[in-house]
Amino acid sequence: MPASIDDLRRAADILRHAERIMVIGCSGGGKSTLSRRICDYLDLPYVSMDREFYWLPGWVKRDKAEERALIPETVARDRWLMDGSGSSTFDLRVPRAQMVLWVRISRWRCLLGVARRGFRYRGKTRPDMAPGCVEQIPDREFLSYIWHFEKRFAPHLVAQLQRHGPDIPVLQLKSHAEMHCLLDLLGAPT
Mean pLDDT score, 116-143: 92
With pLDDT > 70 as the criterion, what percentage of the chain qualifies? 98
pLDDT digits (tens, 9 = 90+) for 18-76: 999 999 999 999 999 999 999 999 999 999 999 999 999 999 999 999 999 999 999 99
Q: Indicate the pTM of the whole model.
A: 0.94
**Cα–Cα distances in Å, from 39 out to 32, 44, 51, 146?**
10, 5, 16, 26
With pLDDT > 90 as the criterion, what percentage of the chain qualifies? 92
